[in-house]
């Protein structure tokens, strides 16, 4: 394989909503550049980029897949990303290392609202992008309608560079507005022939070309003056300023075609090589410079059965070669680079050296994970890592077979290292393993992956809610434990005063024994009995909080008293006292921030009210979404991620954090008490 310098590299990402044909477009690109010898399809599970068992079975992209191709003396790294919102982490990590994005839009469905979340990340990274209108061969495909949608969304920077020839099943080529010629394609093979514009297309093409030149000219002061003076703008000027406008994000070119019929792909390839920026064309935080010391960002990690952990990274400066010793500045640990590879889907292409700006992978790094900075030299420069959305859907996870808990924990920990939108933890309060992710589809895929990859079957359950119990009144009670069964007996006697504390204060134990009513060495046993009873709960089996317990009197026996007797007496007194002190149940309240387009604000507010939510405020965000700040009981947010997605057609998102505990309504409390009593009667 030819060695490429930084200026001859392009890093490109295919992005967009689900079912727009991104993987089919990647397949058509790789076919036209000779990477594959036949055009695979998603339906048959034969594409180069969707190769895992879960992807071929579900017929959707789940992982960001990396491939590369060579065209016009350039090397292009292509990342095909998933369209489903559940796998947004794959998109975020990919956007962090590419220099241009191709947003793929369905010519029938149009610009789906789910694209907003992707656009937010692109805006953060200031990534140039173009739009490819796909599926123009489909029934109801409407190029003009999509262009109007795009202009409404992005404004005057939308610039069609092509027009379609033919509609729906008759779609067969494009009009090139820069060269002003017709390009017709042979369906399937991708072979094309060019000819001058016929009268049929001349009038419309001239109208669109004038609009294109106006947009390109407006991105450059010199060209604007020339345009306003009515001077002719040459083709080479158009090309030069078009590339500059794309890099500066002043121009959003629009191309069109059909990935399945292989129409328009060669024109897209010309656009990529002629107008897309090289890694060193953009003004980045870390300059892409081959002459500088080596630095790289690890943006993705996967675990393969035969090779182990595989780290994907972009070389940001300098060069790296197989066998090189490097330093992980994030973990402060030395690493040795093994065999470097370029990827074609699941196929590894070995290489000896990788230049600044290029993307590569290496196996078996010891401590390196996604987001880490690799480098050399004495000065550490931590490269900004991707900012992933926080997981919002939580489920309790159990192994179906007893004894598999340790294997399950190891499997989920490995998956968490691969996917930064997954969190795995143990909840000490509810005594459950908890997995958190973006959505239900993502978690179902993980369940399948754990079974196939690690041989562990698991099941998901709704997590237990960490309710609490407390009191509203006071009580003074005696706990007396006396047992005589021949020989030495058991005797413990204590008086406790129980009273509420301010919310969040926890537990306070006060010793006010005077005159030796209870020997000093037995007082810790009373407290221990109280604490154990607190943990077990009284009303519904939830731990008791925010109480003050004062030990103020009692009695003992010289022979029969013991630590055990006073511990039992303390527990007895506590249980009796809580029942007399007006006990009630506390529920956890979360503070949530819900982000939705204006059009859904009303329905979301209504839904939050039905969940006992209390709106704290609303404000506009930078991306013109409405941010609704609300307090909601945790029990009402079960699978809210799924419901929110349904209510907003995939455009809504939320995040939440614990706020406080407050008294649960009577219907909620009664249900919890009934469930607890029934379980106790059944011996559970």
Residue 484 pLDDT > 80:
no
The predicted structure's pLDDT at residue 305: 66
- The structure tokens 């001077």 sit at 231
In order, the DSSP letters of 579-648 are: HHS-EEEEEEEEEEEEEE-GGGHHHHHHHHHHTT-EEEEEEE-TTSPEEEEEEEEGGGGTTHHHHHHHHT
Residue 544, beta-bridge partner list:
469
Nearest by Cα to 106 from 224, 202, 24: 24
**CA–CA separation, 363 and 374 (whole Å):** 14
**CA–CA separation, 635 and 466 (whole Å):** 10
Instruction: Give the pLDDT mean for 51-69.
Output: 93
Nearest by Cα to 6 from 281, 240, 247, 244: 281
Across 1-10, 18-27, 48-57, which has the greatest mean pLDDT?
18-27
- Domain 393-461, what architecture? 2-Layer Sandwich (3.30)
- For 11, the token pair is 């890093």
Query: Phi and psi at residue 353, in whole multiples of 5°?
Result: -145, 150
The residues, any chain, with a CB within 8 Å of residue 294's CB and separated by 6 or more, are 315, 317, 318, 319, 320, 324, 326, 374, 375, 376
Q: What is the mean pLDDT of the chain?
A: 92
* Runs of H (alpha helix) within 263-380: 265-275
Which helix (H) or strand (E) segment holds residue 559: the answer is none
CATH fold for domain 295-375: Elongation Factor Tu (Ef-tu); domain 3 (2.40.30)
The residues, any chain, with a CB within 8 Å of residue 75's CB and separated by 6 or more, are 2, 4, 8, 9, 10, 68, 69, 358
**CA–CA separation, 426 and 467 (whole Å):** 17
**CA–CA separation, 139 and 170 (whole Å):** 10
- For 564, the token pair is 């055990």
For domain 586-667, give the CATH number: 3.30.70.240
Nearest by Cα to 547 from 611, 515, 503: 503
End-to-end alpha carbon distance in the chain = 67
The predicted structure's pLDDT at residue 486: 67
Residue 188 pLDDT > 90:
no
Nearest by Cα to 317 from 377, 276, 272: 377
Residue 605 pLDDT > 70:
yes
**CA–CA separation, 426 and 432 (whole Å):** 6
Residue extents of the structural domains in the chain? 6-281, 295-375, 393-461, 469-581, 586-667
Residue 684 pLDDT > 70:
no
CA 113 to chain CA mean position, Å: 18
Domains 393-461 and 586-667 share a fold: yes
Q: pLDDT over 90 for what percent of the chain?
A: 75
In order, the DSSP letters of 416-433 are: HHH-TT-EEEEETTTTEE
Which helix (H) or strand (E) segment holds residue 494: the answer is strand 490-500
Instruction: Give the pLDDT mean for 370-378.
Output: 87
pLDDT tens profile 320-359: 999 999 999 999 999 999 999 999 999 999 999 999 999 9
pLDDT tens profile 142-153: 999 999 999 999
The CATH label, of 3.30.1330.10, 3.40.50.300, 3.40.50.1010, 3.40.50.720, for the domain at 6-281 is: 3.40.50.300
- For 111, the token pair is 């610009």
**CATH class of the domain whose range is 469-581:** alpha beta
* Runs of H (alpha helix) within 61-198: 88-95, 115-125, 143-154
**CA–CA separation, 578 and 242 (whole Å):** 76
The predicted structure's pLDDT at residue 315: 96
- How, if at all, do strands 129-134 and 252-256 pair? parallel
- For 482, the token pair is 């006396």
CA 305 to chain CA mean position, Å: 24
């Amino acid at each position: 394989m030819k060695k490429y310098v930084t200026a001859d590299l392009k890093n490109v990402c295919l992005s967009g909503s689900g079912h727009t044909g991104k993987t089919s477009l990647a397949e058509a690109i790789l076919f036209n550049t000779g990477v594959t010898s036949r055009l695979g399809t998603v339906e048959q599970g034969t594409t180069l980029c969707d190769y895992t068992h879960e992807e071929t079975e579900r017929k959707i992209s789940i992982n960001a897949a990396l491939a590369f191709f060579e065209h016009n003396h350039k090397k292009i790294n292509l990342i095909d990303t998933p369209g489903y919102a559940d796998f947004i982490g794959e998109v975020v990590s990919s956007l962090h290392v590419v220099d241009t994005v191709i947003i793929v839009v369905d010519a029938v469905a149009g610009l789906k609202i789910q694209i907003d979340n992707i656009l937010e990340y692109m805006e953060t990274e200031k990534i140039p992008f173009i739009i490819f209108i796909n599926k123009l061969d489909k029934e109801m495909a409407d190029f003009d309608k999509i262009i109007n949608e795009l202009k409404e969304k992005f404004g005057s920077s939308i610039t069609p560079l092509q027009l379609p020839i033919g509609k729906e099943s008759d779609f067969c080529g494009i009009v090139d507005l820069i060269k002003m010629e017709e390009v017709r394609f042979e369906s399937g093979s991708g072979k094309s022939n060019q000819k001058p514009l016929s009268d049929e297309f001349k009038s419309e093409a001239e109208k669109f070309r004038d609009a294109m030149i106006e947009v390109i000219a407006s991105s450059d002061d010199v060209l604007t003056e020339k345009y306003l003076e009515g001077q002719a703008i040459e083709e080479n000027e158009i090309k030069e300023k078009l590339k500059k406008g794309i890099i500066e994000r002043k121009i959003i070119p629009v191309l069109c075609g059909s990935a399945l019929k292989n129409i328009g792909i060669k024109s897209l390839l010309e656009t990529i090589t002629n107008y897309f920026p090289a890694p060193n064309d953009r003004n980045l935080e870390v300059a892409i410079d081959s002459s500088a010391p080596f630095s790289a960002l690890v943006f993705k990690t996967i675990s393969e059965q035969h090779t182990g952990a595989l780290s994907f990274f972009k070389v940001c400066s300098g060069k790296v070669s197989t066998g090189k010793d490097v330093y992980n500045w994030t973990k402060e640990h030395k690493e040795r680079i093994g065999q470097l590879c370029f990827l074609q889907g699941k196929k590894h292409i070995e290489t000896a050296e990788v230049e600044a700006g290029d993307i590569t992978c290496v196996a078996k790094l010891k401590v390196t994970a996604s987001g880490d900075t690799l480098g050399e030299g004495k000065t550490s420069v931590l490269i900004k890592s991707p900012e992933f959305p926080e997981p919002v859907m939580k489920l309790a996870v159990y192994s179906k077979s007893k004894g598999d808990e340790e294997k399950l924990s190891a499997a989920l920990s490995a998956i968490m290292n691969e996917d930064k939108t997954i969190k795995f933890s143990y909840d000490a309060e509810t005594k459950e393993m908890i997995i958190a992710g973006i959505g239900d589809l993502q978690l179902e895929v993980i369940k399948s992956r754990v079974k196939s990859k690690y041989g562990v079957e698991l099941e998901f359950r709704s997590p237990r809610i960490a309710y609490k119990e407390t009191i509203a009144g006071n009580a003074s009670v005696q706990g007396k434990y006396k047992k005589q069964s021949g020989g030495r007996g058991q005797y413990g006697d204590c008086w406790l005063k129980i009273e509420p504390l301010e919310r969040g204060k926890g537990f306070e134990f006060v010793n006010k024994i005077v005159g030796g009513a209870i020997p000093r060495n037995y007082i810790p046993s009373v407290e221990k009995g109280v604490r154990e009873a607190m943990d077990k709960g009284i009303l519904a089996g939830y731990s008791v909080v925010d109480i003050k317990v004062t030990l103020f009197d009692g009695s003992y026996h010289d022979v029969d008293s013991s630590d055990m007797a006073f511990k039992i007496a303390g527990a007895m007194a506590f249980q009796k006292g809580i029942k007399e002190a007006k006990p009630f149940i506390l529920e956890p309240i979360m503070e949530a921030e819900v982000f939705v387009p204006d059009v859904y604000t009303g329905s979301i507010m209504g839904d939050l009210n039905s969940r006992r939510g209390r709106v704290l405020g609303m404000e506009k965000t930078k991306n013109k979404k409405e941010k609704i700040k609300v307090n909601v009981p945790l029990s009402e947010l079960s699978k809210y991620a799924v419901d929110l997605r349904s209510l907003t057609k995939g455009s809504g998102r939320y995040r939440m954090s614990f706020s406080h505990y407050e008294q649960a309504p009577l219907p909620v409390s009664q249900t919890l008490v009934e469930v607890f009593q029934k379980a106790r009667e059944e011996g559970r």
